């Protein structure tokens, strides 16, 4: 149904006044009823390729050469009016970020209804009935209520299902899904993948599924393209590619995702594979890189004979929902509900659970960025809940947080060097700015950035670099304790591996203590000494990662483990 030949895409840069080729003469096909997976890191050309099929590029600043034939129509030769008959009608797309793809001022139902009325020329009530039927088909709860809801009132998984309903609204023959599960929980991700496969089979659609995560692709694709810097470096049947990858880049992508089956001291990165001439040497490197039982036992003995650095006692953080007569609160959301835990010096405590389970609220309550309703927070014997504002500010020097989104954590108007230096000035560390700058340059080097990055702004960095800047800022005050809140969830698997390796190196060098919050059980199992599984504001289960993974006690934990994508996809997993 789709035949792409010698596709080359160039973009014009207004700053440099030059053309840059982003995709270099690539060719591939897709048959009806099949799933083509396109995998690669950010900047590899995956999304650019899919945008060119939909003709979504700005024609003034983009050159597209080659052929894109869809069911005997040459898409590149169609006029703007003619392509509209295909776009959203015969070819539909689900974008990566549902929040920015949905208009915040219109209800979700109206936005899907509008798309149906535009292409199918039917009346408003019929379009509404079709929309509600679509919401049922994509398994949205309370479809009539969601029809009247605005995007901000839905969870990430629900918004993504609204986008899928919109994409399916005109019965497309080809559906393009661009990273549709990147920032979703593993359980929601599994539901979306199952849903797409079911809809594809029922409607006999062609599906292009784009991702940077080979584990996710392994669950859904029939054929696979691996893209790197605008080229296809490997393509073929998905099963063959997973069992016997040929290109070093593909091997690197497979190896650098944490695998629940092995405990590595250091995750391999894509660069290791691209620079490695002998695969045998790297295989050996992986084998000697695993923790032995004796090493794990010795670390546990060292950690747990100490006094706890942090003790959380019966912590509750409740949010009022509505008020009754005379302003009395009637109902609460119990985001954190009677939680007690201990964290020991030098330990990494993993906190895992789905969105809405209370893990981020717990992290922020410990820092008192959110005020707890009740309970105690003993840090080095001091109860943080009893401290005044000035005392708490001094204490915050020892407890830092790395947020999920590094871009919104950095001030876009301040250079990254000054962003890292600012907390040093606030706390009066070092004699003058010259000494502070020297300290910051040392920190940038520590997180694998260069001295010249000091004077650059956040928008000039990639996502992985920004995350390292935020880590450098968290380290600036030489804290004892860092809360990492979903700090690798939106990163490419290769960048994620670099950041996880960096966190572990810094822990060994500075004796740091972490609470590592994530919805990804494989990542938490890789980096944690102990693990806590949270569900609906309470602790569902806690223990050592291997024990929880191999012998989960709670049905909820088993559900999280079953949802880990691509458990059998990695040839190096054993």
Find the mean pLDDT for residues 446-463.
Answer: 86
pLDDT at position 572 over 80: no
Q: Which of 11-20, 202-211, 461-470 has the highest mean pLDDT?
A: 202-211
Give the span between the Cα atoms of 208 and 34, in whole angstroms.
9
Question: How far is residue 187's CA from residue 512's CA, in Å, rounded to a whole number?
Answer: 31
Mean pLDDT of 380-388: 92
Residue ranges of alpha helices (H) inside 212-358 are 214-218, 238-243, 248-255, 270-275, 279-288, 293-304
What pLDDT does 219 receive? Answer: 86
53-57, 376-380, 382-386, 539-543: range with lowest mean pLDDT = 53-57
Q: Give the 3-state DSSP-derived string for 519-531, with helices as H, strands as E and coil as C.
A: CCHHHHHHHCCEE
447 close to 502: Cβ distance less than 8 angstroms: yes
pLDDT tops 50 at residue 329: yes
The C-alpha atoms of residue 532 and residue 510 are separated, in whole angstroms, by 24
User: How far is the C-alpha of 72 from the C-alpha of 74, rounded, in Å?
Assistant: 7
Work out the average pLDDT over 194-199.
87
- Which residues lie below 8 Å from residue 414, measured CB to CB, with a gap of 6+? 422, 457
pLDDT digits (tens, 9 = 90+) for 336-347: 999 999 999 999
> Tokens for 187?
């359980």
Per-residue pLDDT reduced to its tens digit, 58-79 = 888 889 999 999 988 899 998 8
Q: What span, in angstroms and rounded, lies between the C-alpha atoms of 198 and 164?
A: 13
Q: Which of 546, 44, 555, 72 is nearest to 263 (CA)?
A: 546
Give 538's strand partners.
Answer: 535
More confident residue, 459 or 155: 459
Q: Please give the helix or strand (H or E) that residue 122 lies within, else none.
A: none
Residue 459 has pLDDT above 90, yes or no: no
Helix axes 463-475, 493-510, angle to 10 degrees: 10
CA atoms of 166 and 134, how far apart (whole Å): 8
Please state, for a pLDDT cut of 70, what percent of the chain lies above it.
93
pLDDT, one tens digit per residue, over 389-401 is: 889 988 888 999 9
- Give yes or no for residue 574 having a pLDDT over 50: no
Q: What is the mean pLDDT of the chain?
A: 87
Q: 301: buried, middle or exposed (CB in 10 Å: 19+, 13-18, 0-12)?
A: exposed
CA distance 176 to 92: 6
pLDDT (0 to 100) of residue 203? 85
């Amino acid at each position: 149904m789709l035949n792409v030949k010698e596709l080359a895409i160039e973009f014009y840069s207004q700053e440099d006044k030059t053309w840059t080729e982003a995709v270099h003469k690539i060719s591939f096909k897709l048959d009806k009823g099949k799933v083509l997976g396109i995998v690669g890191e950010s900047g590899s050309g995956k999304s650019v390729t899919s945008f060119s099929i939909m003709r979504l590029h700005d024609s003034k600043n983009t050159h597209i050469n080659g052929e894109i034939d869809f069911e005997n129509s040459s898409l590149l030769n169609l006029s703007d009016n003619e392509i509209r008959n295909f776009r959203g009608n015969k070819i539909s797309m689900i974008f990566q970020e549902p929040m920015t793809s949905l208009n915040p001022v219109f209800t979700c139902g109206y936005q899907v209804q509008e798309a149906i009325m535009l292409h199918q020329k039917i009346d408003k009530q019929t379009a509404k009935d079709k929309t509600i039927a679509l919401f049922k088909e994509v398994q949205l709860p309370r479809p009539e209520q969601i029809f009247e809801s605005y995007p901000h009132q839905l969870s990430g998984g629900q918004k993504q299902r609204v986008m899928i309903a919109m994409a399916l609204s005109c019965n497309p023959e080809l559906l393009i899904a661009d990273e549709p599960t990147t920032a979703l929980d593993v359980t929601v991700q599994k539901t979306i993948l199952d849903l797409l496969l079911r809809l594809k089979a029922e409607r006999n659609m062609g599906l292009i599924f784009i991702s940077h995560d080979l584990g996710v692709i392994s669950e859904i694709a029939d054929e696979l393209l691996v893209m790197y810097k605008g080229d296809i470096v490997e393509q073929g049947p998905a099963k063959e590619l997973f069992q016997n990858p040929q290109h070093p880049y593909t091997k690197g992508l497979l190896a650098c995702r944490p695998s629940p089956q092995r405990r590595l001291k250091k995750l391999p990165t894509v660069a290791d594979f691209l620079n490695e001439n002998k695969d045998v040497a790297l295989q050996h490197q992986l084998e000697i890189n695993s923790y032995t039982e004796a090493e794990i036992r010795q670390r546990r003995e060292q950690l747990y004979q100490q006094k706890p650095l942090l003790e959380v006692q019966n912590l509750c953080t409740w949010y009022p929902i509505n008020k009754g007569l005379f302003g009395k609160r009637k109902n609460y959301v119990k985001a954190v509900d009677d939680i007690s835990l201990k964290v020991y010096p030098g330990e990494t405590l993993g906190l895992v659970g789905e969105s809405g389970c209370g893990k981020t609220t717990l992290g922020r309550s410990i820092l008192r960025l959110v005020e707890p309703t009740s309970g105690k927070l003993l840090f080095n014997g001091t109860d943080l809940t009893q401290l005044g504002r000035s005392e708490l500010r001094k204490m915050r020097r020892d407890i830092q947080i790395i947020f999920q989104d590094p871009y919104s954590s950095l001030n876009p108007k301040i250079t990254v060097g000054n962003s890292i230096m600012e907390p040093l000035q606030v706390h009066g560390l070092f004699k003058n700015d010259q000494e502070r700058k020297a300290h910051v340059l040392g920190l940038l080097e520590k997180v694998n950035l260069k001295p010249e990055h000091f004077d650059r702004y956040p928008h000039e960095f990639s996502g992985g670099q920004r995350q390292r800047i935020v880590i450098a800022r968290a380290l600036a005050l030489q804290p004892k304790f860092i809360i990492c809140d979903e700090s690798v969830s939106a990163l490419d698997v290769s960048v994620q591996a670099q950041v996880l390796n960096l966190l572990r190196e810094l822990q060994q060098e500075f004796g740091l203590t972490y609470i590592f919050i994530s919805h990804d059980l494989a990542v938490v199992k890789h980096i944690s000494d102990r693990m806590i599984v949270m569900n609906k504001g309470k602790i569902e289960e806690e223990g050592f990662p291997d024990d929880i993974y191999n012998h989960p006690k709670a049905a909820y934990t088993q559900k999280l483990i079953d949802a880990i994508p691509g458990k059998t996809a990695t040839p190096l997993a054993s």
